[in-house]
A and B are shown apart, each in its own frame.
Chain A
Amino acid sequence: MRPLTFRKLVFECFFLLVILFFVVVVALKFGAVPVSLYALGRDLLRVLLGQTSQISSDYGLIIQNIRLPRIILGIIVGASLSVAGTSFQALLRNPLADPYVLGVSSGAALGAILSLIAEPHLALPPAFGALLTPLCAFLGAAVTITAVYFLGRRQGQIESNTLLLGGIITASFLSAVIVFLMSTVNSSNTRGMVFWLMGNLSTSFQKSIYWFLAGGFFIAAGVIYSTANDLNVLLAGEKEATHLGVDVRRVRFVVYMAASLLTGLAVSVSGAVGYVGLIVPHVMRMVFGSDHRTLLPTAALGGAIAVVVADTLARIVVAPNELPVGAVTAVVGAPLFIYLLRRRFA
């Protein structure tokens, strides 16, 4: 009998944090513009110390304004998607669940395309104009989350299979609407939609957005983590969980909302990056076990590592051009998923 202790948890997370650190250093070093480790270290130190005005070299500016924010975005998106994926797999009692199965990404995509169609006709101040697409994407996600919630209820509370069905139907319906819009609306902006759908970390934002995303992540992930033990018990079965003292109705609602929120945030800023939310939880389960008290934080770190690595590859492989990060995760993720299937999730 070796129950989980705080020390074990911290150790496992620290191990992953170290890997993340190395991955970030590599990501900062490599890219379309080569940077020496020394220059990197020096400029990073300046950033940390707040002496940003002293970064004069072009390389330093590139690091600070392009590469570092992009890596931070990758970390947040990867962590959000993995935590959401883990949560949905527990909530729906289905190992094949990923963050997009309940239609959130389709809703966000619809919001994005509507904003692209409407944008030329609105006279918005420039700073707001740059935010319009992610904002509308998030609104689309929020509306979808609410709609699927009501579709997924039976006798007043969320029921796993009903939720899954409701989500899948909503996702297909929204996809059909998107295809319809893209083929009938004659707007040059819809051409850009194809790139958005492929999952992309190259969008840049004002600084405050990164803080907002990080804050949103920690709040939503924290809420989910508070139910970690409940999720453990929930895996034994819903009736059993009730008998063991879990308020199943409350837990389902809270986890559904928080995980959908995480997905909505991630998709609004990066499009639909696939496979991360599906595979990272399974890999972490194989390594660290199914206890959600460990699984949730390790999945978050694992997802961050996966997305930063994928994005670095996306930037390097055809430099100075780049691939969309969703393409890299698909190429790597699909064979990995097949391998996991054959091992039957260990």
Chain B
Amino acid sequence: MKKLPPSRIRVVACRTLVVFSCAAAPSRAQSANAPSPGEPPAFREVVDETGRSVRIPQPVRRIVSLAPSLTETIYALGLDDRLVGDTDYCDYPPDAKKKTKVGGGIDPSLEVIASLHPDLVLATKSFNRLETTQSLDRLGISSYATDPHTVADIMSSVKTLAAVLGVPEAGASVAEEMHHRLDDLQQRIGSLPPKRVLFVVWTQPLISTGKDTFLADALRHAGAVSIIDSSQDWPQVNLEEVARLQPDFLVFAESHSGDASREMAKLATLPAWKIVRAVRNHRYAVTSDAVNRPAPRIVSAVEDLARQLHPKAFAEKSDDAKKASGKVNPAFHPMPFMLVSPGHAIHAHLSSAGGCACGR
């Protein structure tokens, strides 16, 4: 299992424990501070994960999230009452759908964001554009961007973000939880040979995921290894290569049930795809959409995938697994990503359809 790169954690941690610039720093006229009369506005200088230097007003009371993964993280940190706006795509947990919508990730409405008077806007490099953060800068609204490339990055990102938002203990706790579950997983499947998989983003043309994405890292944690070794993030892959390498499984991420089995059935009718043994034998695994989001819930997706790929490692401990998935960490409320592992629901659906090769 991958170790957390210690150097990176230290650097980020140092940077967050910096100078409190006080009333000496004049706040700009348009600074979107929550009204707190009599209190001099405080700022904190941090460097975000893309290397930008950000002045964050303290405390952070109003947050706008520009990515579904960041929304989930905020809920996981228990800060959902401070979340005043999120994107159209933020649908987890269900409560997030009720927040004021600011638009999409690529083109959020600056007017709506400004009208919400956020203290901080959260963005992430893979979902949002640099121009959006620059526009927000010009409006005097601070924005903080994350850029995780591995599951470890996600964990440290959560901790850093928690510190920035003033709840370091919650951050540490969430990260610890993730770490713990991944360690558990590693114990179960760490000694097993990883399954060779092809992660399918799109079938015609065939698009998979590169080796430097957090997706690829998530696969590694799930006891799988992507047969595609590309430095591009979303490489178009030649079917011949897949036919030569013959992956054990095809892995799909589902936005709603039924898609993957239909895709597999379609592929099975094409002579070019029938050469791939996994297609002929209907060996495929499905994870929830959480695997696409660099948020704490990715751990559930990883666990779920591991269950499908290495069923024997979980068979005798299925009762424990059910208990673990229902557990709620009592210290912090709520942790929706632990309540229901979406993969289970899809699983049940698939087993009844008879298409999944995972044993239960």
Contact = CB atoms under 8 A, between A and B. Distances in A.
A322 interface: yes
A130 B275 contact: no
Interface string A333-344: 000000000000
A69 B272 CA distance: 8
Contact of B243 (A61, A195, A321): A61
A186 B275 contact: no
B232 A321 contact: yes
A50 interface: no
B238 interface: yes
Contact of A192 (B107, B202, B238, B268): B202
Do most interface residues of chain A lie in helix, strand or loop, or is the interface mixed?
A: helix
A62 B262 contact: no
A320 interface: yes
Closest A-B pairs by Cβ, 5 of them: A204-B272, A126-B265, A320-B241, A32-B238, A32-B241
A3 interface: no
Interface in A117-152: 120, 126-127, 129-130, 133
B240 interface: yes
Contacts, number: 103
Contacts of A315: 238, 240
B241 A33 contact: yes
A203 interface: yes
A294 interface: no
Given A62-B243, A200-B205, A206 B238 contact: no
Contacts of B241: 32-33, 319-320
Interface residues of A, number: 36
B275 A202 contact: no
A65 B274 contact: yes
Contact of A65 (B228, B262, B275): B275
B273 A31 contact: no
Interface in A156-214: 183, 186, 188, 191-192, 195, 200, 202-207
B334 interface: no
A67 interface: yes
Interface string B167-210: 00000000000000000000000000000000000101111000
A227 B204 CA distance: 38
B243 A66 contact: yes
B240 A207 contact: no
Interface in B241-297: 241, 243-244, 255-256, 258-259, 262, 265-275
A188 B266 contact: no
A33 B235 CA distance: 17
Contacts of B273: 204
A103 interface: no
Interface string B142-181: 0000000000000000000000000000000000000000
